[in-house]
Amino acid sequence: MKLIDLWIIVILAINGIFFLLGLFFFIPKDRRFLDFFNNITTQNKFLLIIFLIVAFHLFEVNIVDTPLTDWLGFDFTKNIIAIEGGAVNWFSQNWTPVLVYFFVFIYIGVYIFTLWFTPLFFLIIGDRNAMKNLAYGFLAIYLIALPFYLFFPVTNVYVYFNSSSALESVLPSIEGFFYSTTTQNNCLPSLHTAMTVLIAYTVYLTGNKRYTYFTGVTMVLVIISVIYLSIHWITDVITGLLLSIGVILLLRRYMAK
């Protein structure tokens, strides 16, 4: 079996298992796929917003980012190091194998699951308000973060220090997939941090306690994982938190149910 086949199978297996668990533990029996197709119709513009953002992001990452970075010819990583030093890189020199596997599982498996299952969850239970907040929150986060990704490049920790990749050590060849969805210098603010906070907030709006607890715990573990795996700087995480909190405050002000 090719190595590339291995990580695909692992990710699909994790997401498949979580999907089945999600159907039984997170969605009330009386709400499972009730008026599902009608809900798609009533929420289609929010789904379109999410789809267009993802499509543009992939275009930015794979077409625009590298040529623009080369043309700009500068990197702000040294400015980040001047603020916080090599504190995050310390983890990559002192990894515990069990924790590495656990946080890679969170970063690659659980986080990805919440990204696609959450809008599906809103469709299944028919919560238009939560979907609206997710779509417009995602749009606001991305529009604010995009200028930083384009004109304020910051290289991720393990690449800058030429340390080993935790992702690659657990799932060889996965970085080919990983860097088709992001770049080595799209670090500040941390989109992982901002999105996992937004997801936890929008799920909270549904009043579903089980999935709210799940996304809340996932939020904490994802934030820890990007630091422990030496992917993001502490500054990235802080700016990601501030970005998501600011956007949530705007949503609460202008998109009350």
Strand partners, 154: 186
Dump pLDDT digits (tens) for 92-102. Answer: 888 899 999 99
* pLDDT computed for residue 33 by the predictor: 61
Residue 172 lies in a domain: yes
Residue 43 lies in a domain: no
Query: Is the pTM higher than 0.75?
Result: yes
* Cα–Cα dist 192/44, whole Å: 25
In terms of residue numbers, what domain contains 175? 3-18+50-254
Residue 175 lies in a domain: yes
Residue 72 lies in a domain: yes
| 74 CB neighbour count, 10 Å cutoff | 10
How many structural domains does the chain have? 1
* Cα–Cα dist 231/92, whole Å: 10
Sequence-distant (≥ 6) Cβ neighbours of residue 221 within 8 angstroms: 103, 106, 110
Residue 212 lies in a domain: yes
Nearest alpha-carbon partner for 114 in 245, 187, 35, 222 = 222
* pLDDT computed for residue 199 by the predictor: 97
* pLDDT computed for residue 198 by the predictor: 97
* pLDDT computed for residue 1 by the predictor: 46
Nearest alpha-carbon partner for 189 in 233, 157, 251 = 233
| 247 CB neighbour count, 10 Å cutoff | 24
pLDDT by residue for the chain (257 residues), tens digit each? 444 566 677 788 888 888 888 888 888 776 656 677 788 888 889 999 999 999 999 998 888 888 888 888 888 888 899 888 888 888 888 889 999 999 999 998 899 999 999 999 999 888 899 999 999 999 999 999 999 999 988 989 988 888 888 888 887 777 777 777 777 788 889 999 999 999 999 999 999 999 999 999 999 999 999 999 999 999 999 999 999 999 999 999 887 65
Dump pLDDT digits (tens) for 162-194. Answer: 888 888 888 777 777 777 777 778 888 999 999
Assess contact for 47 and 119: CB atoms under 8 A.
yes
Residue 189 lies in a domain: yes
